[in-house]
Structures are given as structure tokens and as C-alpha cells.
Amino acid sequence: MFVKKAALFLLLATGYRAVSAQEQFTEGVITYHITITGRVPTDAGEPALTETKSGKLTIYIKDDNIRQDILLEDGYSHSRISNYTTGKEIILQTVNTLKYAIEVNLKDYRKKNAAYYNAAFEPGQGQKQWGNYELKEGRLRYRDGSSFSFYYLDTYELRHPEIFERTPEIRNIPALYDLPMSNGFNTRFELEQISPEPVSLAVFRVPEGYRIISRKEYDKLMK
């Protein structure tokens, strides 16, 4: 259940842009390997146990249409279909075999993640090799004093970097980073593949069998 609670820079806070992006990534597929680890509560006197799960995040991009699919090895799945032209997003959720397509406003996500905007970017000294590419290290310092470290690939530039909640103004592609979760677990994202390729618009349609409802309607059903 901890997965459900999990559910990616402005240089010196003045308008950072991709340092050396060579190409706009407007259509294609990006995949990440996910590893979730954390300590599982045990009875007093029992040795601590560590739980690990792995999975994949697949991101489909076609201009202003973006779909994100998370699938873990235990069968848990979560999908988000965003349309930045209409400003709407659909979350695909299955509850007791009932399939819901929950419609939300993308502006709500910006409000929710407001603390991650207008951050100060600090270039790091570290570098990592990823295939034929070189990943660069960076750190964001948020206005509340907290920070977020990551490696990124500057070969491509994203039109909608806000799909990555911790780096909503970084137009380069986050390649390696850790997200701490509220329950003490940690989720690591490792870039697996980038494929500039045609993506069918059918990918961004709500699948058959899903009932489209608002967030308020969904919340009422869950009470």
C-alpha cells in the first residue's frame, strides 16, 4: 500500500534554461526502471526487515499529450493521461474491479507542487556515463531551504518538464534520482531508454470500460 502514497531549474532562481540541449523531445517514449525500498514494521524484538519492489515508468509524449504508466512487479499500476492544450488530466484507477477515469485540472498540480518552482540550480561536479551519453549532476535548492540532487541528460529538451514534480522547470531530462516517500520508503528512478519515435494518438484516449468522473465524484465514492 505504500506505493499508493508515492503515487521530474532556474539558475540562481532567475530563469534557467537547458544548458546544451540539442533537440526538442516532442514525440517518443521515455522509460525508467523503478526500485522502491524501505523498512517494514516488525514486532518488538524482531529483526528489521527491508522490502524491495521494482517496476517501470513509461512516458509517452506527442506534442502537448503525455501519458505516464507505472507498473510494478506485484501488479500495481497507475496511469495518468495529460493534455496540456485543454489543461485536463485523466487518472486511470481500478477499485474493486470498477474502472474509473478521474478528470482533474492540471492547474491543481501546479498549486500542489508550488514549493518546487523558482528553485536555485547548482551544477554539480559528478558525471556518469549512460550508453553513449554523459549524464551531468545537478542540485536544486528550494525556497524552503531543502534541496534535491539528481543527474540529467542535456541532449534533449522537454516542452513540459512539469511532468517531473521535483524538477518542474528543468527542461533537460532527469536521468537518475531518488524520491523519499512519506512512509519512510524511497523510490529510485533510473533512465532506461529514450526513443524518439511516432506515437499514436490512440495512446492518449481513455480505454473502453472506464467511467469518466470528476475528482469530487470519485472522492465521494471512496467515503
pLDDT at 5: 36
Question: Which tens digit of pLDDT belongs to each residue from 55-91?
Answer: 999 999 999 999 999 999 998 899 999 999 999 999 9
The CATH number given to whatever domain includes residue 32 is 2.50.20.10
User: Which residues does 171 contact at the CB level (< 8 Å), separation at least 6?
Assistant: 17, 18, 21, 157, 158, 161
Please tell me which residue, 147 or 97, carries the higher pLDDT value: 147
pTM (two decimals): 0.85
CA 3/CA 83 separation, integer angstroms: 25
- Res 1 pLDDT > 90: no
Residue 219 has pLDDT above 90, yes or no: no
Query: Residue 164: how many CB atoms within 10 A of its CB?
Result: 23
Mean pLDDT, residues 37-52 taken together: 81
For residue 176, what are the contacts with CB-CB under 8 A and spacing of at least 6?
128, 135, 150, 151, 188, 189, 190, 191
For residues 85 and 73, give the distance between their C-alpha atoms in angstroms, rounded to a whole number: 33
Q: Sort residue 70 into left (φ over 0), alpha (ψ -120 to 50) or beta.
A: beta
Supply the mean pLDDT for the chain.
87
pLDDT over threshold 90, residue 183: no
**Full residue range of the structural domain in which residue 193 is found:** 2-222
Who's near 172: CB < 8 A, 6+ residues apart? Answer: 18, 19, 21, 152, 153, 154, 156, 157, 158
6 pLDDT above the threshold of 90: no
Asked whether residue 147 carries a pLDDT value surpassing 90, the answer given is yes
Nearest in space to 200 (alpha carbons), one of 20, 29, 17: 29
Domain count, the chain: 1
- Provide the pLDDT for residue 39: 83
